[in-house]
Structure 1
Amino acid sequence: MRIGLLTEGGYPYVSGEAGLWCDRLVRGLEQHEFDVYALSRSERQEDDGWVPLPPHVSRVRTASLWEAEDDGIGYGRRARRRFAECYGELATTLCTTTPGEPSGSPEGASALEADRFANALYGLAELARDEGGLPSALRSETAVRALERACRAPGAHRSAREARVPDLLAVAARLERALRPLSLDWYEDDGLGAVDLCHAASGGTAALPGLLARHFSDVPLLVTEYGVRLRTHYLTEPDSPPAIRSLLAAFHGRLAAETYRRAAVITPGNTHARRWQERCGADRAKLRTVHPGMDATPFSEVGEEPGGADPHTLVWVGRVEPAKDLVSLLHAFAEVRRAEPAARLRIVGAPAGPEGPAYLAHCRSLAAQLFPDEADGPHAVGRNPVTFEETGGHELPSRAHAYASGALVVLSSVVEGFPAGLVEAMFCGRATVSTDVGAVVEAIGGTGLVVPPRNPRALAEACVALLRDPERRERLGAAARARALELFTVEQNVAAFHGIYLEILSRTPVRRVVLDDTGEPLPFAAPAEAHVPGRWTDPASRVVARGGPGWATDAPVRATAPVSATEGAR
């Protein structure tokens, strides 16, 4: 089958989200043909280039979400009226929606508001198709005035009513960027209209081309989310003014609800994401949890030979940033050190994000205060028992060697999606102590200890309990490795999506019917093997068998030659 893979800020670019997962999915499903439709987020991402693509990726089409282009399109009076009506309807649904809660009002009112948002969205898409684009209109004074009228109208929620002109300008600019896919020329019969299935690698803007392909060409849509976009919006907009935050949250909530309503199947990556999707209106009957697929090969050697680790060393591996709460980990290790004076802590990772370097410096300073170098005593090591390191050196050439260096792996995060680092530790056969955030409990099951976040004492007690019980550590580590190999490998992920593709296509009506000269349908004019890459796609190589048993001919036939139902059955 032909899959239209929809991405935003990821595959096929070298840098970005979900790039590695998409690459593994595409390479693992080489029996299918992939068309990639990618939205880029920055000039740097485009300059970094693409990853090497396998031969069954037949097409890549890209569009920019960061570069504002002037389409030079001037609307006539009728088109301006259509735009004002559609944009005004969309703005009204945002101002009357409780932020982040698209389905919280009574059922009838919620369905009505969902239909209003959908009608406005597809009305804008049809206008863009008729007139050649929307960017200039979405940045126009007409758009800002429509948004202002919606915010001042009776029934608008308090945050919307308090919006000032700078807030309205900021919201209009963000909506223009989010709605930019409406103006793309991807939805004709030579684009997404020709694929058998659209697979959006994330929700939000990435799924918008899939919604339009379904609207214009009835192409079924599959949506995969390992991190829900609405949740991401809440985490990345904490300092915005209330009006901006609430209006954008309403938009993302409405778009998520429409995406879930139109999708044939929704695949959250974990139960944590699944709960968010249900909260945004996803039908439980459409949900299929598919855990991320990770490559276990780099960690197989450590996992198969779990011995050799320092029995007194705790290891933390990841990106150094405030959400990882290394401060609580250092305070917890101070208590561990008092109970087990020989204990050591290795913090392995590089700073990430704009706050990363300053946060790393703060953690180094805190470690120096909590653990001044010991000069005397039976457990003196001559240096601080806490070390900050990065992989790639002689002592720790890889993440697998980092996990192998300790007997116990610790995670202290206060915010976490799917804990990939914990799964890597599980591949290595290491017991873990983690905070109860995100999908941690779902990932480790009963193979590790879980404590509340921001609780250094509980974290310390769990670490001490495992440091003092090597048999329990070994037992938990073996169970963790078995669980990871069963649930979180690339092979499991690829097989799950292959089955879902077949399930969706098996219950999708045929969309393209070939007609003969009289206008009658030709039921077998496009045989199934016509979609298989190779010689089957060459019309001159297709053959038909005629006659009874024992008689056949390999005479070539044209792809458009009429074939009767009886002939095709024989």
Structure 2
Amino acid sequence: MRIGLLTEGGYPYVSGDARLWCDRLVRGLGQHEFDIYALSRSERQEDEGWVPLPSQVSRVRTAPLWTAEDDGVGYGRRARRRFAECYGELAAVLCAGPSEEPSALEADRFGSALYGLAELARDEGGLVGALRSETAVRALEHAVRAPGAARTAREARVPDLLAVAAHLERALRPLSLDWYEDDGLGSVDLCHAASGGPAALPGLLARHFSDVPLLVTEYGVRLRTHYLSATDASPSVRSLLAAFHSRLAAEIYGRAALVTAGNTHARRWQERCGADRDKIRTVYPGMDAARFAEVGESPECADPDTLVWVGRIEPTKDLISLLHAFAEIRKEEPKTRLRIIGVAAGPEGAAYLGHCKALAAQLFPDEADGLHAVGDNPVSFGEIGGPEVPALADAYASGAVTVLSSVVEGFPISLVEAMFCGRATVSTDVGAVVEAIGGTGLVVPPRNPRALAEACVTLLRDPERRERLGAAARARALELFTVEQNITAFHGIYLEIVSRHPVRRVVLDDTTGEPLPFAVPAEAHLPGRWTDSGARVVARGGPGWAAGPPVRANTPLPATEGAR
């Protein structure tokens, strides 16, 4: 089958989010054909180029989400009236305020406004200029002043309205793309969005215009990320943007054929944000187990007196509690050492790392074994790639127990890596930690240094239990979290969606231009001579004039030419 893979700030860019799992998915499903539709987040990301693409990627189309040139489209009176009506309806829905369970009427109003704008963009050639116009700001102003508007919306001032209009213009840029014709997303059998939000919006429009089924995968719920960000904006701006993103998420979940979550924690968020429980499938992230095989098969190589922490250094990892817990551990087991291995995440992470190093120096003065020995600190900080830790597997090999002290966590990648290495773990009960480790590690409440210390001391004093837990953890990781299980799961989901939601296409005869009955047999999804046809294919619902090649802003490139 032909898959349209939709990404935003991710694959195929070198620095993209979810780059690894998308690349593994595409390479693992060599029997299918992939078209990549990618939205870039920055000019720097585009300059860094793409990862090498496999042969099953037939073409790549990209569009910048970080900028949009004025399309220069001049609207006539009727088009201006259509835009004012659709945008005004969208603004009215947002000003009604977000609710935990949006009514069917509100969902219909939002969907009608969104698809009305998409149809206008398709008919007129773009929406960029209109979304930046004074008409858009006046529509927002009218909506916030209308009777029945939410209190926080009524408090919006002109700067707030300008900020909301700018955000909506950026979020709705995919509506102006030329991806939705019958030789674009209209020609694929399935759209697979690698995340929610902007990445899923092209798939939503492909479903609207051509009835192409949509699959949405979220390893981190996009709506949750929005709720936790933009804290510096005014309450009015946050309220209106939260309303937009919650309505968009509900529309995406409602129109998607299936939604996949990376864990039960993400699944609960999806259900809370409007996803139908019967549509959700849990597909765990697939990780490369081979890189940890040597360490996992030799658990005796670990230092029995060393604790290891691995990850990105930032305040949510709560290394402060870990250091205080280690102080308690040293009282019970004086020979114990702690290795913190990772890099700081941005300026905030760098400042936090400096604070942690200062606290470690204060809590643990340098120690020496004798009068003539050089003292050192029992807490060490390092990075992967250095002389002491040349590879990621070496980080976990250096200690007998891996510790996670986070107060906020999605899917605990570092814990799963430790499980592949056959290490016993002590972790805080946050996010999907319990789901990931099952019964193969010890779990304590977050922000509780004493409980964390007691659990670590328990494992340090019981090597047989460490070995049993490590072996069970490795077996669990090999069963649930490998690349192979991830690819197998998505292959089954693809077949399930296509079998339940086949795309109905009309095949036109090259000679007469008339529709050919029974021209698309059931085996058309299988490669073979019966799929080689000179007839033109038009997706159901597509206009006849769209059968020819449309004018494009960027020409699709073959994978061999586009990879750089």
Structure 2 counterpart SS, 1:311 = coil
Secondary structure of the equivalent of 1:288?
A: strand
* SS of residue matched to 1:406: coil
* Preserved contact between residue 427 and residue 485 of structure 1 (Cα < 8 Å): yes
Match of 2:55 in 1: 55
The 10-residue stretch of structure 1 (161-170 or 405-414) with the greater mean CA deviation from structure 2 = 161-170
What CA deviation, in whole Å up to 9, does each residue of 1:213-236 have, x standing for no partner? 000000000000001111101222
Q: Any gaps of 5 or more consecutive residues in structure 2?
A: 537-564
The whole-number CA distance in structure 1 between the counterparts of 2:232 and 2:323 is 28
Highest RCO, 1 vs 2 (Cα 8 Å, sep ≥ 6): 2
Matches within 5 A, 1:456-495: 456-495=449-488
Note the 1:374-413 alignment, pairs <5 A. Answer: 374-375=367-368, 382-413=375-406
1:128-139 to 2 correspondences below 5 Å: 128-139=121-132
Q: Distance in 2 between matches of 1:132 and 1:102?
A: 36
Shift of residue 322, structure 1, vs aligned partner: 1.1
Match of 1:64, as an amino acid? Answer: P
The answer to whether residue 282 in structure 2 is matched with residue 289 in structure 1 is: yes
Q: Cα RMSD (Å) of the superposition? A: 1.8
For residues 108 and 100 of structure 2, the distance between their equivalents in structure 1, rounded to whole angstroms, comes to 12
1:307-346 aligned at under 5 Å gives the runs 307-346=300-339
Aligned equivalents of 1:197, 1:20: Cα separation in 2: 21
Match of 1:125 in 2: 118
Alignment length (residue pairs)? 533
Is the CA contact (8 Å cut-off) linking 2:3 and 2:188 kept in structure 1?
Answer: yes
For residues 469 and 96 of structure 1, the distance between their equivalents in structure 2, rounded to whole angstroms, comes to: 59
Could you tell me which residue of structure 2 aligns to residue 169 of structure 1? 162
Query: Deviation digits for residues 310-333 of structure 1, max 9, x if unmatched?
Result: 111000001111111111111111
Range with greater deviation from structure 2 (229-238 or 265-274): 229-238
1:449 and 2:442 correspond: yes
Q: What pairs with 1:188-227 in structure 2 (closer than 5 Å)?
A: 188-227=181-220
Any residues of structure 2 matched to 1:63-74 within 5 Å, and which? 63-74=63-74
Deviation at 1:381, TM superposition (A): 7.6
Tell me the distance in 2 between the aligned counterparts of 1:259 and 1:436.
31
Distance 1:376 1:502, change over 3 A: closer
Match of 1:567? none
Structure 2: which amino acid aligns with 1:441? V
- 1:469 offset after TM fit, Å? 1.1
Partner of 1:553: none
Q: Any idea what SS the aligned residue of 1:224 has? A: strand
Residue 511 in structure 1 maps to residue 475 in structure 2: no
Distance 1:402 1:396 in 2: 6
TM-score, normalization by structure 1: 0.91
SS at match of 2:340: strand
Inter-partner Cα distance in structure 1 for 2:166 and 2:419: 44
Over residues 332-371 of structure 1, what are the superposed CA-to-partner deviations in whole Å (9 max), with x where a residue is unaligned? Answer: 1111111111110000011112312111111111111111
Per-residue CA deviations over 1:463-490 (Å, capped at 9, x if unaligned) read 1111111111111111110000000000
2:345 is the counterpart of 1:352? yes
- Alpha-carbon distance between aligned partners in 1 of 2:399 and 2:302, rounded to the nearest angstrom: 5
Deviation string, structure 1 residues 18-58 (Cα, Å, up to 9, x no partner): 11110000000000000000000001110110000001100
Displacement, 1:376? 6.5
Deviation at 1:444, TM superposition (A): 0.5
Cα deviations across residues 232-290 of structure 1 (Å, max 9, x unaligned)? 01222222221111111111110000000000000011111101111111111101100
Distance 2:523 2:259 in 1: 29
Question: Do 2:97 and 2:153's aligned partners in 1 also have CA atoms closer than 8 Å?
Answer: no
The letter for the 2-side match of 1:241 is S
1:128–1:183 Cα contact (<8 Å) kept: yes
Unaligned runs of at least 5 residues, structure 1:
540-557, 561-570
Map Cα deviations across residues 141-168 of structure 1 (whole Å, 9 max, x no partner): 1111111111122222222111111111
Name the CA distance, whole Å, in 1 between partners of 2:530 and 2:504. Answer: 21
- 1:152-167 equivalences under 5 Å are 152-167=145-160
2:545 paired residue number: none
The Cα shift of 1:179 comes to 0.5
> Residue 40 of structure 1 aligns with which residue?
40
Residue 393 of structure 1, CA deviation: 2.1
What letter is aligned with 1:512? R
Distance (whole Å) between structure 1 residues aligned to residue 398 and residue 374 of structure 2: 17
With 332-341 and 508-517 compared, the bigger mean Cα shift is at 508-517
Whichever of the two has the greater Rg, that structure is 1
| 1:535 Cα deviation after fit | 5.9
Residue by residue over 1:413-462, the C-alpha shift from the partner in whole angstroms, topping out at 9 and shown as x without a partner, is: 11111111110000000011111111111101111111111111111111
Q: How does 1:557-568 map to 2 (within 5 A)?
A: none
Distance in 1, Cα, partners of 2:156 & 2:475: 54
Contact 2:508 2:535 in 1 (8 A): no
